[in-house]
Amino acid sequence: MAIALYPGTFDPVTHGHLDVLLRASRLFDRVIVAVASGNSAKSTMFSPEERVTMVQENLDSFSNVSVELFDGLLVEYARSKGASVLVRGLRVISDFEYEF
């Protein structure tokens, strides 16, 4: 069973996020949307709980997707969930260059 992790702040969740999620849900048995708690230097418009709710409100058509709040190192969280894949959205080539 392939478990994918889609991490982000989702502040707010966008159509772009949902498009990536739709594609991921077709590729993997289970997708976990990992909403970052916001304990980093990045400031957010919405509280972590509000961001989780916003994502959950858009998941009616996804049977294999769950949403969770996470804090700490992403690699440790992925291991704890048994995720073998990280899903990332890329907007421009500089996003790709930054990731690699």
Mean pLDDT of 18-45: 90
Residue ranges covered by each domain of the chain: 3-99
State yes or no: pLDDT of 43 exceeds 80.
yes
| Paired residues of 24 in beta bridges | none
Asked if 4 and 32 count as a contact pair (C-beta separation under 8 A), the reply is: yes
Helix or strand or coil: residue 2? Answer: coil
Asked if 35 and 5 count as a contact pair (C-beta separation under 8 A), the reply is: no
Q: Residue 41's pLDDT is what?
A: 67
Q: How confident is the model at residue 58 (pLDDT cuts 50, 70, 90)?
A: very high
Task: Give the global pTM.
Answer: 0.86
Nearest to 27 by CA among 92, 86, 99, 95: 86
The beta-strand segments (E) located in the chain are 3-8, 30-36, 65-70, 85-86
Quote the CATH superfamily of domain 3-99: HUPs (3.40.50.620)
